[in-house]
């Protein structure tokens, strides 16, 4: 069961509601390539996700993001958080508070490159935080920031009537703090939590995205809002994003790890580029 947090932040804990999971079959047909599209098989000599056409008035080529899918209107956009909407790494920020940041970063890197299982990596990182005072954890969460352009993109999607979601193995308090600071919100959040006991982190981690995967979370979200999986856009960077990238109607890699890039329809390196891809695919006007 996945717990969705809706657009009422903060508090996060008071606004979750359960969503029943349904079984699904992967929809492979909508990942068909198109002419001049830099898709999952790549295009040698070009920056992935970007086509290049001559521009008579400038020295540099003009970057063009071709439409990858144009048969259906896409109504749901699901973002990863750490490494995508945010360039902060929550576990590292927490680790800095108890002098284990280097160990945290090393475990995270191995997980994002699919060298160890995500659930195993998350539990290892949480265990390193055992005994961290709540005040230090709060201070770390308050350091989490959205990357440039992320808040504007979320707001634009919300105004356009697109269902926005964050599906993250990160921690809800850090996500909520970053959104609140920018004065934006999303419709749904699926995340994990670091429990407290006697004013300290216990070293454990709870949540639906430890053993659960983001494809199931995305399917549950789509079902919750009455959309098909092919009507969804997934944006992520790491190995734990692979499941949702593989089932979404449009898979956008945000500076993806090497193991992830081949599974992306389009690759971007900024929120401005992500917006262009969404515009070229008629998600935004």
Token code pair at residue 171 = 């921690």
3-state secondary structure of 197: strand
8 A C-beta contact, residue 261 and residue 253: yes
Distance CA 217, CA 22 (A): 10
Q: Is 13 a catalytic residue?
A: no
- Please state the separation of Cα 186 from the chain's center in Å: 12
Alpha-carbon Rg for the chain, nearest whole angstrom, is 19
Helix-helix angle 271-280:150-159, to 10 degrees: 30
**Residue of 13, 14, 28, 80 marked catalytic:** 80
8 A C-beta contact, residue 231 and residue 223: no
Q: CA angle 111-76-147, nearest 5°?
A: 55
Q: Residue 146 has what DSSP assignment?
A: P
Beta-carbon count within 10 A of 129 CB: 24
Q: Is 80 a catalytic residue?
A: yes
**Residue of 82, 187, 215, 241 marked catalytic:** 82
Token code pair at residue 183 = 């004065």
Residues involved in catalysis: 80, 82
């Amino acid at each position: 069961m996945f717990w969705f947090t809706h657009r009422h932040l903060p508090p996060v804990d008071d606004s979750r509601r359960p969503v029943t999971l349904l079984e699904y079959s992967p929809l492979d047909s909508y990942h068909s390539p198109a002419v001049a599209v830099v898709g999952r098989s790549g295009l040698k000599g070009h920056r992935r996700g970007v086509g290049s056409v001559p521009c008579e008035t400038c020295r540099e080529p003009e970057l063009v993001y071709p439409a990858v899918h144009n048969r259906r209107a896409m109504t749901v956009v699901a973002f990863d958080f750490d490494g995508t909407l945010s360039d902060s790494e929550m576990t590292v920020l927490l680790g800095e508070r108890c002098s284990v940041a280097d160990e945290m970063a090393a475990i995270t890197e191995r997980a994002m490159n699919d060298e160890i299982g995500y659930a195993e990596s998350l539990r290892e990182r949480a265990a390193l935080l055992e005994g961290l005072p709540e005040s230090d954890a709060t201070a770390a969460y308050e350091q989490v920031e959205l990357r440039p352009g992320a808040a504007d993109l979320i707001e634009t999607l919300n105004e356009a009537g697109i269902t926005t979601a964050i599906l993250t193995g990160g921690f809800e308090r850090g996500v909520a703090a970053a959104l609140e600071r920018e004065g934006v919100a999303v419709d749904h959040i699926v995340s994990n939590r670091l429990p407290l006991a006697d004013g300290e982190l216990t070293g454990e981690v709870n949540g639906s995205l430890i053993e659960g995967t983001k494809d199931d979370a995305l399917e549950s979200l789509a079902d919750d809002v009455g959309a098909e999986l092919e009507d969804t856009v997934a944006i992520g960077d790491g190995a734990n994003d692979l499941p949702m990238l593989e089932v979404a109607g449009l898979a956008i890699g945000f500076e993806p790890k090497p193991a992830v890039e081949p599974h992306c329809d389009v690759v971007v390196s900024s929120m401005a580029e992500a917006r262009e891809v969404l515009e070229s695919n008629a998600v935004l006007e």
